[in-house]
Amino acid sequence: MSSQPLPDLALQLMPVPSSGSGGRAAAAGGNRFELVFASFFRQGHALTFPCSQSGEVDIDSLPPAARRNYADVCARVGRDYASPLVRPISRFTH
């Protein structure tokens, strides 16, 4: 059984529309986003990483443990984690 390489994650990003006014006004308001990898096996569990609106993660700004987690989750997409989604970070999260 041959294993096929996983497709490039950038092609699988699916932005979640925000309920705000969107566009430049939303960007100017300082909205932040996160890349979310939902677990296939632990319902309600996910790994999240800060990202741009287009889903780009600044790996260099992550702490070492988060960098390792990011590399690990990217390698496990399709096996243990769903393709990532981009979503706005709620100002009410803690």
pLDDT in tens, 78-89: 999 999 999 998
The tally of CA atoms less than 13 A away on the side-chain side of residue 61 is 7
**What pLDDT band is residue 18 in, cutting at 50, 70 and 90?**
very low
What Cα–Cα distance (Å) separates residue 3 from each residue in 40, 73, 77? 20, 18, 14
What range defines the domain where residue 75 resides? 32-88
Count of domains for the chain: 1
The answer to whether position 60 is within a domain reads yes
Asked whether the predicted pLDDT for residue 35 surpasses 60, the reply is: yes
Domain assignment of residue 21, yes or no: no
13 found inside a domain: no
Mean pLDDT of 68-87: 97
- 23 is a domain residue: no
* Whether pLDDT at 2 is above 90: no
pLDDT at 90: 74
3-state SS, residue 6: coil
Q: Which two tokens stand for residue 61?
A: 């700004």
- Residue at 81 is within a domain: yes
C-alpha 88/C-alpha 13 separation (Å) is 14
The stretch 36-51 carries a mean pLDDT of 95
Question: What is the reported pTM?
Answer: 0.64
